[in-house]
Amino acid sequence: MGIASRKEREKAEMRRLILDAAHDIFKENGYDGLNIRSIAERIEYSPATIYLYYKDKNEIFFALQYEAAAAKRDHLLPAASIEDPWMRLVEFGRLYVDFGLKHPDWYDLLFLTRAPMEHIENQDCWTLGMATHAFFVETVQACVDARYFKSTDSATIAYTLWCHAHGLVSLFVRERMRMYPPEERGELAKKSFAMMVKMAESL
């Protein structure tokens, strides 16, 4: 029992060690700088060893995505405690955009990476993301229930708001805003968010 459980613990520790290294490298050098050999070098093991703990690079990628999803959830958490559904929705949106602009690499990992989406539905990161998304949709539904909107199509409302926020962050993250001077971009994002809130009020 003792030895078996120690082995199990060591296995988990090693997986953690690998993931932490991957995490650090990703933060320092982005997705492109992250490769098996760089992880191996950092933890002072051979590249082959990585494969004894993770099936392939995708598995590490999914684990990283989970970290990002958890960070996003934590970032949005303060909004959850706001009583008024409309205020909660606005703050949720503000924090969503804030997360994207503050952590472009993580937002990228979560929403803009092409990577291995094949079976992402079965991954923890997807489950976690879904929970956050469900909370968002529920908040919109709460607004509908409280007659904050004329429209009652909460699904479309939620989706439309998400499209705007996601588009806003995506244009930032993938640097498609070069037609606007860098110093104006933040202001423009704020104005656009405010405009969207205003528009939603008269929805």
Partner DNA sequence: CAAAGTTACTGAACGCTGTTTAGTAAAAAC
Partner DNA sequence: GTTTTTACTAAACAGCGTTCAGTAACTTTG
- Contacting residues toward its own copies, per CB under 8 A: 31-32, 108, 111-114, 117, 120-121, 126, 130, 133, 151, 153, 155-157, 159-160, 162-168, 170-171, 174-176, 178-179, 188, 191-192, 195-196, 199-200, 202-203
Q: 180 phi and psi, to 5 degrees? A: -100, 135
Burial class (CB in 10 A: 0-12, 13-18, 19+), 198: exposed
DSSP 109: I
Site for DNA in 49-78 (CB under 7 A): 49, 51-52, 56-58
Size of the site for DNA (CB under 7 A): 23
10 binds DNA (CB under 7 A): yes
User: Residue 7 has which token pair?
Assistant: 């082995």
Considering only 15, 23, 38, 94, the residue that binds DNA (CB under 7 A) is 38
Rounded CA gap, 128 and 132, in Å?
Answer: 7
Rounded CA gap, 66 and 63, in Å?
Answer: 5
Residues at the site binding DNA, with contacts judged by CB under 7 A: 3-4, 6-7, 10-11, 14, 34-38, 44-49, 51-52, 56-58
